[in-house]
Amino acid sequence: MGHAAKLPDQKPERRRHRVYVTRNTEYHFRDGFCIAVRDRRTGDFLPGHLAVKRRLHGGLKFFPNGAIVPNPGEPRAGEALYFAADGRDLVTSPVETIARPPKTIVEAYPEPALAPGETLPPR
């Protein structure tokens, strides 16, 4: 999830935050790391969610015939988010929309608990 990706005749992407919305959950990212997960029904952040502090590795497209096609790039609507880490892979339900979170939500992100020596990208 490079924030400096550039297409011909376009300026580099400078925005660092993105939110992937599934049926029940919002996954909030900064520079490719999940920094917050929020329940869509209650609006509550879920600090203990397995996705928090994990890097997004791409998307998975599931087909009715059982086939699964990986997408190692930016996940698209209709694909599940895929997180891989230490044998505890996480696959979400399909993404419905991808958006930029409003500043008020970004400012409300909870500070994650960090292990000693662990750091996250700055806001």
At 15-60, the pLDDT tens digits run 789 999 999 999 999 999 999 999 999 999 999 999 999 999 999 9
Rounded CA gap, 60 and 48, in Å?
23
pLDDT tens, residue by residue, 62-109: 999 999 999 999 999 999 999 987 788 999 999 999 999 999 999 999
- C-alpha gyration radius of the chain: 15
- Band (pLDDT 50/70/90 cuts) for residue 5 is low
3-state secondary structure of 107: helix
> What backbone phi and psi angles, to 5 degrees, belong to 50?
-60, -25
